[in-house]
Structure 1
Amino acid sequence: MDSNYKHTVAERLMRYVQIDTQSDPYSTAQPSTEKQKNLTKLLADELKAIGITDAEADEYGYVYGTIPATIDKDVPVICYCAHVDTSPDCSGENVKPILHKNYDGNDIVLPDDNNVVITTQRHPYLKQRIGDDIITASGLTLLGADDKAGVAVIMDAAQYLMEHPEVKHGKIRILFTPDEEVGRGVDKVDMKKLGADFGYTLDGGERGHLEGESFSADGVSITIHGISAHPGYAKNKLVNATKVAAAFLDTLPKNEWSPETTSDKEGFVHPVHIEGGAEKTRIDFIIRNHDTAKLAEYEKQLEEMLKAAVAQYPGAKYDFVVKEQYRNMREILDQHPKVMEYAEIAYKRAGMTPERISIRGGTDGSRLSFMGLPCPNIFTGEMGIHSKQEYVSVQDMEKACQVCIHIAEIVAE
């Protein structure tokens, strides 16, 4: 890379996070929230401004654009992808980003709520980033680096490549998606229009991490049906669905099977939402494991526990609905080893030792891989995600940008 180039990732991220793009898991619209388009329209305009003439933001909240090839020979078309939405877990409204220059290793006390303190004890990765410039929110919201850091990295890489036509590369497609946080990030992607051979999501954490394996994921929706009756005259009539739900949830294992008791390659069964009343109560679960076959085992066990709980309340009934969410990207990436190898070479050229890791989660790349676009995940430095303690290193984002440029060169070579 041109050593005189001034990266734009920090300035871009701090602008992008101020646009509220929180997605909504209970909306049926596409995108789930109209406000996501406030950012996608801006991104399309900014791509046009740097010379990407075909940039467009479509009706579903996707942004497409092409960095034209600078060579004549036929090489694979790469896609760089990031998502614009932020998690429903924590407010993304009125984000006030703060740049902490030359981080000194001390606790970062956020000014709008002094109870929100980012410490190296809770965030050990911060120790590795002493001397970096760190961006946080102000204490009342998440930051939104997940995944606006990825968006900023791709935009910066696009600007560099448009300004440096001497860099030899093939055609590169840019894709920004809505609704990744609610599991619908690629529902309306036009794969024919995208026209890429393989891709990379920019949605990872620590510098040097290269993610080629994700969870496989299902959702389970349970509806418990009770029998309603006036509480004043309910003796021997009322069957309270809420109590059945409570009895069922109480049978879940206390020391295993849950996010708070598992790590590494251990899967989990996680209730994420409950609503209802005496007549009907619904519980939504997410089911996760790196081994796809184990999802069905978990679901069978879960239904057996539900059946046993419901049996204690004569007259109660249940519905048990399983919905596939995404699958472990490794199942596809193992068939296309060069996609990971290109990235590893790029990490080394950018001065890093690549480390292949498994994510305890999923990305748009998990589903894109099964839609014909093998798609591992590259780091951006986003850490403490889905919380008010979210932070990102500017230098991590700059390194990710360099990786994108090196991958483009390597594929052309």
Structure 2
Amino acid sequence: MQTRLLERFLRYVAVPSQSDPQQTSVPTTMGQRQLAELLQEDLSKLGLIDLEISEFSVLTGRLPANIAKDIPAVGFVAHLDTVNVNLSPVVKPKLVRDYDGNDICLNGEQGIYLRVSEHPELLKYKGQDIVFSDGTSVLGADNKAAIANLLVALEILTTDKEREHGDIYVAFVPDEECGLRGAKKMDFSKFPVAFAYTIDCCELGEIVYETFNAGNAVIKIKGVSAHPMSAKGVMVNPILAAMDFADLFDRSQTPECTEGQEGYIWVKGIQGNQSEATVNLDIRDHDKEKYEERKQTILTNVEKIKALYPRASFSCEINDTYGNIADAVTGDNRKCIDYIYTAMAELGIEPKTIAMRGGTDGSYISTQGILTPNYFTGGHNFHSNCEFLPLPALEKSCQMTLKLIELIAKG
């Protein structure tokens, strides 16, 4: 299985599909459309039907049930994009066979190393085959490890007729890294499932069904410009107003000062000139009530800054980005989470349940009435050039997919 997974993974990372948060279209880059078209071709060869790529490059399809038994339809979701962190969009993967436990030279020409002293998690995978990037890009295991997982699982299901399954729907969505934009463009009439799973990030054994509630705020400030020779008592500097606004927030409630289930408000950017300035904030909290309180804190601070700068003008727009998966869990739909723990027990995988300090496509899909928890791909160090993917962990992830389908078929 590892060989097939590696072949698929290398096939898909060869397509540059880095998203671009500066763009407003969906998809934000055409590489994602190219990858969707490649996957449509591959899925068609495996016998999936109802394959369709929407105008937003959301690819959906179905593997029909091979038994008459009434089995709930299940969905699997992976995203097409790799993250844009100012690294090269072109991935040059590097396979290290039988890792020896020493530092890894990712790029000799540029002197880029992955050092065990900085990444001791490497030692867990001594003796294993591991895929790295060449240090000039992310690896793209987020989320092409999941894409490889699903394609190999579907290949096994279509060739091994002994494996019984109900209807299996797949959705490959763009721009997950840009605020789950692709998931928000899904046509759920083409994804009529009882529940679904995302396979995204996380090392071997990690399970996520609790994510942040997430939103953003944009505060726009218009000052009063004047020439310095006559500025006294006239000029209102919007950049200084923006800085004073940022100072109103509790410095202990920021990403660098919080962990676990602690939320935060992140002053993510300040841009400005002599006439106007913009402050961008991210709002995060696992607790819905506290999340709403953080939004109110922003509004309160806007009023405070208005009082400090009465001759400036201020506007504030707050938008919700995604919700906490846990808020969608009920006694009636929790079984899809229970399947994950049962699958891990049968596969001998130690479960590691985490409250993710982020979100998945399932964070949005779950708000649409389809509970969508997440399980691991097996990779490490996403969103950096230190990203790596141990092949045995990816194999376990694919085994999880097959085991979940098996359990669902048994009822």
Instruction: Please give the TM-score of this superposition, normalised by the length of structure 1.
Output: 0.94
1:12-411 matches, cutoff 5 A: 12-111=8-107, 114-183=110-179, 184-254=181-251, 256-335=252-331, 336-411=333-408
The amino acid of 2:95's aligned partner reads L
After superposition, the Cα gap between the structure-2 partners of 1:116 and 1:299, relative to the gap in structure 1 and judged at 3 Å, is farther
Q: Which residue of 1 aligns with 2:409?
A: 412
Please report how far the alpha carbon of residue 114 of structure 1 lies from its aligned counterpart in structure 2 after TM superposition: 4.7
Unaligned stretches of 5+ residues in structure 1: none
Contact 2:201 2:382 survives alignment (8 Å) = no
**Counterpart-to-counterpart distance in 2, 1:230 and 1:18:** 54
**Counterpart-to-counterpart distance in 2, 1:351 and 1:73:** 28
C-alpha distance after superposition, 1:9-29 (max 9, x if no partner) = 222222222222122223221
After superposition, the Cα gap between the structure-2 partners of 1:92 and 1:17, relative to the gap in structure 1 and judged at 3 Å, is farther
RMSD: 1.8
Please report how far the alpha carbon of residue 92 of structure 1 lies from its aligned counterpart in structure 2 after TM superposition: 4.4
The amino acid of 2:242's aligned partner reads A
Is the partner of 1:210 in helix, strand or coil? strand
Q: Which moved more, 1:26-35 or 1:38-47?
A: 26-35
After superposition, the Cα gap between the structure-2 partners of 1:253 and 1:119, relative to the gap in structure 1 and judged at 3 Å, is farther
The amino acid of 1:29's aligned partner reads S
Contact 1:123 1:384 survives alignment (8 Å) = no
After superposition, the Cα gap between the structure-2 partners of 1:55 and 1:238, relative to the gap in structure 1 and judged at 3 Å, is same
The amino acid of 1:139's aligned partner reads G
Please report how far the alpha carbon of residue 112 of structure 1 lies from its aligned counterpart in structure 2 after TM superposition: 5.5
Please report how far the alpha carbon of residue 338 of structure 1 lies from its aligned counterpart in structure 2 after TM superposition: 0.6
The amino acid of 1:129's aligned partner reads Y
Please report how far the alpha carbon of residue 306 of structure 1 lies from its aligned counterpart in structure 2 after TM superposition: 4.1
Is the partner of 1:187 in helix, strand or coil? helix
**Counterpart-to-counterpart distance in 2, 1:105 and 1:217:** 39
**Counterpart-to-counterpart distance in 2, 1:127 and 1:333:** 36
Contact 1:92 1:144 survives alignment (8 Å) = no
Percent identical pairs in the alignment equals: 36
Please report how far the alpha carbon of residue 292 of structure 1 lies from its aligned counterpart in structure 2 after TM superposition: 1.1
The amino acid of 2:133's aligned partner reads A
**Counterpart-to-counterpart distance in 1, 2:198 and 2:300:** 38
Contact 1:76 1:197 survives alignment (8 Å) = yes
Please report how far the alpha carbon of residue 181 of structure 1 lies from its aligned counterpart in structure 2 after TM superposition: 0.6
Contact 1:92 1:143 survives alignment (8 Å) = no
After superposition, the Cα gap between the structure-2 partners of 1:106 and 1:252, relative to the gap in structure 1 and judged at 3 Å, is farther
- Count residues in correspondence: 408
The amino acid of 2:368's aligned partner reads M
Q: Which moved more, 1:314-323 or 1:298-307?
A: 298-307
Is the partner of 1:142 in helix, strand or coil? coil
Q: Which moved more, 1:401-410 or 1:104-113?
A: 104-113
**Counterpart-to-counterpart distance in 1, 2:229 and 2:16:** 47
C-alpha distance after superposition, 1:337-363 (max 9, x if no partner) = 211111111112222122322111100
C-alpha distance after superposition, 1:231-276 (max 9, x if no partner) = 444332221111111222244333x211111111111111223323
Please report how far the alpha carbon of residue 317 of structure 1 lies from its aligned counterpart in structure 2 after TM superposition: 2.4
**Counterpart-to-counterpart distance in 1, 2:198 and 2:225:** 49
**Counterpart-to-counterpart distance in 1, 2:90 and 2:30:** 17
Q: Which moved more, 1:119-128 or 1:329-338?
A: 119-128
